[in-house]
Amino acid sequence: MSACVRIRHDHTARSSPPSRASGIKRPHSPPPPRRGGRFRIAGADLSASITVFLIAVPMSLGLAVAMDAPLEAGLISAAVGGIVAGLLGGTPLQVSGPSAGLTVVTAELIQIYGWRTTCAITIGAGLLQILLGSLRAARGALAVSPAIVHGTLAGIGVAIALAQLHIVLGGSPLSSAAANALALPEQLGRVSPAAPLIGALTIAVLVVWPRLPGRIGRAVRRLPAALASVAIATAVAAVAAPGIARVDLPSWRSHALPELPQGPVLALATAVFTVLLVASLESLLAAVAVDKLTAGRAGGRTADSAAPAPVTPATPPVQRSDLDRELRGQGVANVLSGLLGGLPVSGGAVRSSANVRAGATGRAATVLHGVWVLLAAGLLVTALEWIPLAALAALVMVVGFQMVSFAHIRNVHRHREFLVYGATITGVVLFGVLEGVAIGIAVAVAVALHRLARTRITVTDQNGQHLVVVRGQLTFLAVPRLSRALGQLPRGGDVVVELDGFFMDHAAYETIQHWSDAQTAQGGRVVFTGRSGGRIAEPASAAHSCCRPWTPWRNHHCHDQPGRPVDARRAAATWVAFPSGEHPTAGQGPTGSGRAEADTPKASAAAPTGGFDTPGDGAAVPRRTGAHRLASGLSSFQRNTAPLVRDELARLAREGQRPSQLFITCADSRLVTSMITASGPGDLFTVRNVGNLVPPPGAEAGDDSVGAAIEYAVDVLKVESITVCGHSGCGAMQALMSTGPDAPQTSLWRWLRHGLPSLERMRSRHHAWARISGRLPADEVEQLCLSNVVQQLDHLRAHESVARRLAEGALQLHGMYFHVGEAQAYLLAEGASAGSGIDEVFDRVGPGDPNHARPYDITDLSDPTGLSAPGDHAAASAPAAAADPADPSGSGELERTSA
């Protein structure tokens, strides 16, 4: 078995993070606030604040009724959430206030500990939120399974609806959801007609109001449905049912403030943790939803028919959420709300989505809404006391029902997580929020273990050849069944093993490897295939003689067998079908050859003197330099490659070049364009320069070569697309960041000045931050490499020939990023490549996605509580809003959310 040894090179150290004084921001953090800037109030913010205020007042009173808390506490928390969280939070358009998700928890705490101790618990939860936000733990909260999160919110919604149904029927709710459900028959037996009729009227207006047709309908829909339903119910009750139970706002002089908590320490700590968990999850999920709604609005999507005014693509962009800052802001708001005797505060999906659809552009709308609530609490007490309790209960009951989102149920069912979702709902309804979350996590772990252990192994005989099919993941749990199935096969026979799974642990690997070695030693033949039937992990054949492709040919040192001296005349590379940096038998799973990873010679560092490299067997290999190195490579091409491509090159010589795309990339020697694009002769018209820069038209003289290549490719060759490809560890970007205004006027610096707009773009507050789906950029250099690709696409559009072909629809632009160390390509989302997307996300290209040029897909997180009106989810799925991610998803995910 032949092998190759590759010289190790010293890796340059990562550039140290810049100081705070340098003005360079960490990647994926929001731009710093402008110093000396004023709090600006736009007309759109003023109108949006009034819209949200009209929704917040009845919602806050209704939630206070649902929690059996002092009614003024709902107004306090709405005012504090709007003003404090609006000023300090990390999501400018998110509106905070009384938490619908904490309704059941707060009601239980009030019954057990009383109101004043509940305020102290709210303060403790706020302090923990500040601590977690300071420790940058916000993203960790989004790692909880979506099935558990949505199941928790749905369970809370069911409990809210059951409790408020008793008030709508003229009674009082009991202490738990199960008790409320069991008491419904008795409540129906002694129902009075006034309260149910007012509640039914409120629900009917809530349902019908957003669907009123015609011009009159469009006009009245400017008034929020929540306010319209409560106002109409109040007016009808004043005439038809003057004796119905109404809101009773006590005097502010008798308002209760917090006291030192009294009770068992463990129980109080559990209560604080429960409030912390639910409030933080609700706020962070709502922040992600607001980001996506904002991205959809900026991408040109209009609001639904209930919106006060259509939003145009000219709506100014807003900052992307800083989740850690948002968590800190929510913590400060909870501390202050608890100190003032208010309810727990969290970000609300209903209020926030209304704020976005109303056209809000910044924090002013959120803060002003809190100011209006504060003024209403002091000046409109008499008017508020006319509201029937049944109307508020019906409003909150509808909110509870909407928290059970059918879109989320479809999602968890499609991902086979409905068991986790159902178990969480059941646990929350029967036992409580914290217990329900614990049950959901336990079921999720059990389901994961079941799937991991659910491996089906079948053995069939096909004309004397045995076929072993393994469906599922191969872990130690499946080893007994795997050993039993393999042990029943005849020794020395021909076996095909079909592996249909993406994971194999060490125990399963050794089981298969030992069986394969024994089968081969007894004269048998073992072939491993994937589900499609293609062979996997094939051993290197003797014809391939040695080396891996695409590694620098100057580093190839080939020999036929370990321990045999190397013939320098045969030291050129031979291109074979193995990936760069891998030995044919190293780490590729069982091969049937019986060779283990330890059998492969290892690469060693270059010898410091004498011009020799030492392979693993200790033999000295002459290091080729200069013309000998070039001649050796040319000889290898003539011997191995030229016979394979001669016919194709002859055809291209006769017919001329007709490339399909112009590929503009960096001159970095590690970028092999034909390799990463799987292209051949005649496919790419390639332009390479330092930093993959595209000088804009009219730039300084001496920089026309790139412009000439663009003009020739577009007008003469008629290429169909242009790709700008950046890469990781770009030396040009490092130089651009480290060079100051007193840089020497060398040729290199005069060229790099064309990259200054990219540096300005990265530092600007007026551009979205380029990011990678599924993970954050590693450092400022990578952030600049990403921003540079987007900026050069803008320069491309400024060229007359490119603009003309784009207008005709005959040309497409693509952004690409190649991570050298990971050998991973990323494509810029379609909207951002075309210049129409607000988010600049480079989406990972997977091995199974050949037609990857599509907009970045966003999972349905636009409304975490399911409270949005019809059409909200469509409006939220804008191109390139982040994965996640998170994502890092692509993240990414968090569930690819890029926040």
Catalytic-role residue among 291, 322, 324, 668: 668
Catalytic-role residue among 547, 666, 725, 785: 666
CB 55 within 8 A of CB 867: no
DSSP 818-872: EETTTTEEEEE-HHHHTT--S--EEEEPPTT-SS--SPPP--S-S-TTS-SPTTH
How far, in Å, CA of 743 to CA of 745, rounded?
Answer: 6
State whether the Cα torsion 235-236-241-244 is positive or negative.
negative
The DSSP secondary-structure symbol of 246 reads: B
What element of type H or E holds 459? strand 456-462
How far, in Å, CA of 649 to CA of 9, rounded?
Answer: 35
> Identity (one letter) of the amino acid at 159?
A
CB atoms within 10 A of CB 698: 7
> Quick check: is 450 catalytic?
no
How far, in Å, CA of 104 to CA of 299, rounded?
Answer: 38
CA distances from 98 to 70, 89, 349, 488, 784 (A): 13, 16, 12, 65, 41
Residue 503 burial (10 A CB sphere; 0-12, 13-18, 19+): exposed
> Quick check: is 546 catalytic?
no
Distance of CA 481 to the CA centre of its chain: 38
| Token digits of residue 816 | 């690409």
CA distances from 867 to 77, 153, 407, 429, 432 (A): 20, 11, 11, 19, 22
Catalytic-role residue among 119, 546, 730, 785: 730
Strand duo 557-559 + 525-529: pairing: unpaired
> Quick check: is 119 catalytic?
no
Could you tell me if residue 682 is left (phi over 0), alpha (psi between -120 and 50 degrees) or otherwise beta?
Answer: left
Residue among 275, 281, 277, 283 at smallest CA distance from 352: 283
Catalytic-role residue among 26, 40, 670, 765: 670
3-state secondary structure of 35: coil
CA distances from 18 to 21, 588, 734, 768, 780 (A): 8, 40, 12, 21, 9
The DSSP secondary-structure symbol of 82 reads: I
The DSSP secondary-structure symbol of 639 reads: I
> Quick check: is 666 catalytic?
yes
| Token digits of residue 318 | 């807003």
Q: What is the CA radius of gyration of the chain?
A: 33
CA distances from 579 to 315, 536, 592, 633 (A): 48, 13, 19, 19
CB 407 within 8 A of CB 860: yes
> Quick check: is 413 catalytic?
no
How far, in Å, CA of 198 to CA of 235, rounded?
Answer: 10
Catalytic-role residue among 727, 771, 819, 873: 727
CB atoms within 10 A of CB 425: 24
| Token digits of residue 576 | 């074979």
How far, in Å, CA of 773 to CA of 303, rounded?
Answer: 27
What element of type H or E holds 803? helix 800-808
How far, in Å, CA of 226 to CA of 55, rounded?
Answer: 6
**Phi–psi pair at 481, nearest 5 degrees:** -70, -35
Annotated catalytic sites, by residue? 666, 668, 670, 727, 730
